Amino acid sequence: MTRFSRVLALVAICATAAFAVDTLPVAAPAAAEPSHAKEIVGSLLGLVLGLVQFAVGLGIAAFAINKGLQVVSKLLGGLDIWAEVAKKNIAVALLAAGAVISYTRVIGSGIDSMTKSLGSLAGGDWSAGVVGLIAGIVNLIVAITVASFAITVTFKVMDKLTKGIDEKAELSGGNIAIGALYCGILIGVSGLVASGVAGIGIGLGEFLHAIAKLFI
């Protein structure tokens, strides 16, 4: 996560630079050329931030895979996911796949909030772009937190509904039905949670934009 923190710091620096340039006083007579130059700089900055976002996405992908499997393993009493996969346990493989897809879908909704801000930067509306970028970063942090929570809650609820079933024993024994069921449930729940995270991102962006108007 050290590299991930550095990348987020780089995004914040770029955003601060864009905000500073946007608030610089502009000479009144020169209308066309400064505006055109501003659009070029904005598009280049959007491209740089897009590349940074791509790097963030790759880093988060590796984190999501590892974290998703860790959460599932912990909830199943320390079940060794990779050891079961090596034994060609399809049930555990299905469960692991569902957990990873669930985790990445929720986090992906957070990354999408950052993507929308890049359009504003590329169009020269740097104030809106910076505000949207900050909201996107906060929303990404929320998504990462919510992803683990969603998987945990799903397992807790299913454990209450299936009191007569020992999930760990069934999965270790290769019960494909249990693995497929949990896989589908995790993916389904992740879609709903991702929509909720996206809603938080929209609300947060509108709030920060309203606050920014007080100072710009």
Backbone angles phi, psi at 160, to 5 degrees: -70, -35
pTM: 0.67
Q: Which among 31-40, 109-118, 155-164, 181-190 has the top mean pLDDT?
A: 181-190
The pLDDT value given to residue 5: 53
| Distance (Å, whole) CA 82 – CA 93 | 9
The yes-or-no verdict on residue 9 having pLDDT over 60 is no
The yes-or-no verdict on residue 20 having pLDDT over 50 is no
pLDDT digits (tens, 9 = 90+) for 63-100: 888 888 888 888 888 888 888 889 999 999 999 999 88
The pLDDT value given to residue 116: 66
**Of residues 196, 161, 197, 199, the one with CA closest to residue 181:** 161
